[in-house]
A = this chain, B = another copy of it.
Amino acid sequence: MRKIGLREVEDIALGASLLGAGGGGDPYYGKLMAIGAIKENGPVELISPDEVPDDAVIMPIAMMGAPTVLCEKGTGGGEYKVIYDMVSQYLGRQVYAVMPMEAGGVNSMLPIAAAARLGLPMVDCDGMGRAFPELQMVTFTIGGVSATPMALTDEKGNSVIFNTITNKWTEELARAVTMSCGGSVTVSLYVMEGRTMKAFGVKGIVTRSEMLGRAIREVKNHPEKTPEQAFLDASEGYGIFKGKIADVLRETNGKFNLGRVQLEGIGEWRGHRAEVCFQNENIYASVDGEILATVPDLVCLVDTDTFIPVTTEALKYGKRVLVVGLKCYEMWRTAEGLELVCPRYFGVDTDYIPIEERVKGGAANV
């Protein structure tokens, strides 16, 4: 057990924006919520998965919908208590701790706000190790865990409990309600016991996020190497391309932000042109027509100077970015994992090949 205070929140938020892989929403607004909750209620206890009893009830907390909507309409602050009451009343059991389900993006922060407001510890574990656009895309689905009973509430006070036959149906029904509630709601899903969390969760992800955030902040404090090398070393990232944003094409299908960003090389690295496609998160990156990284590995864009991650909302013409690939959590590379999040699921006609193999023969500067 250790305490998560204001400094830790800053680092976790920064690391979470890298784990967001372009999506998951800028953690900035979530950070304000976490900071507000900690200032009112004191630091949050972060407990390691091992500290959780096998039969303790863990209540993951997340927002569902569009992070940009969350920024505009906000939350009422009372949602976590509503969710807590719904879950504990429905199960007839006490909740032991909260947990993030999605360590990337804004959903890294809301469980901290919830833990502070509810006076509960938060477990150092999530179900993605990154951000993904649909709720069945979690390691717990691989483990056969049901997303339901799922509790949902909006800032107005409407609340819904779902029980579905598959996690894809949870996604379908909860997404419909989320849209009707205005595009952003607070949820608890994959409520589980400690033993399940330990068996299928991405353990230590909050600490990893914090470490990544600190590394980005301190990237220039290494006299023995370039900031770029320091960043790649700390993130264990594979450099894919370095370039200037030449064009950003965006569309929305009502559910997701879709688009592609085109980059022109700036001479320092190999390759002339690169393209990164996104569906909320970045889906793949190609250099001179050759795909060098795909989901479920993380395709991240970071500022070439500050190494601060650039979310898809913040893409704009002329910005200089480094395209970096990070290995995904190992469970995503199994057949069961790829069934949920392979490139083809996102409409990209290629098999999944791990980033470390793709970049080996490719154009990347590794």
Contacts and interface: CB of A to CB of B under 8 A. Distances in A.
A157 B162 contact: no
A156 B163 CA distance: 11
A161 interface: yes
Contact of A165 (B156, B164, B177): B156
Interface stretch (A17-25, A168-176, A198-206, A298-306): A168-176
Interface of A: 156-165, 169, 172-173, 175-177, 179-181
A46 to B, nearest CB: 32
Contacts of A156: 165, 169
B158 A163 contact: yes
Given A157-B165, A173-B180, 11 more contacts: A156-B165, A158-B163, A158-B164, A158-B165, A158-B169, A158-B173, A159-B163, A160-B162, A175-B180, A176-B176, A176-B179
Nearest to A161: B161
A183 to B, nearest CB: 12
B180 A176 contact: yes
A158 B162 CA distance: 8
A100 B208 CA distance: 56
Contacts of A180: 172-173, 175-176
Contacts of A158: 162-165, 169, 173
A266 B17 CA distance: 73
Contacts of A159: 162-164
B160 A160 contact: yes
A26 to B, nearest CB: 28
19 contacts: A156-B165, A157-B165, A158-B163, A158-B164, A158-B169, A158-B173, A159-B163, A159-B164, A160-B160, A160-B161, A160-B162, A160-B163, A160-B173, A161-B161, A172-B180, A173-B180, A173-B181, A175-B180, A176-B180
Contacts of A164: 158-159
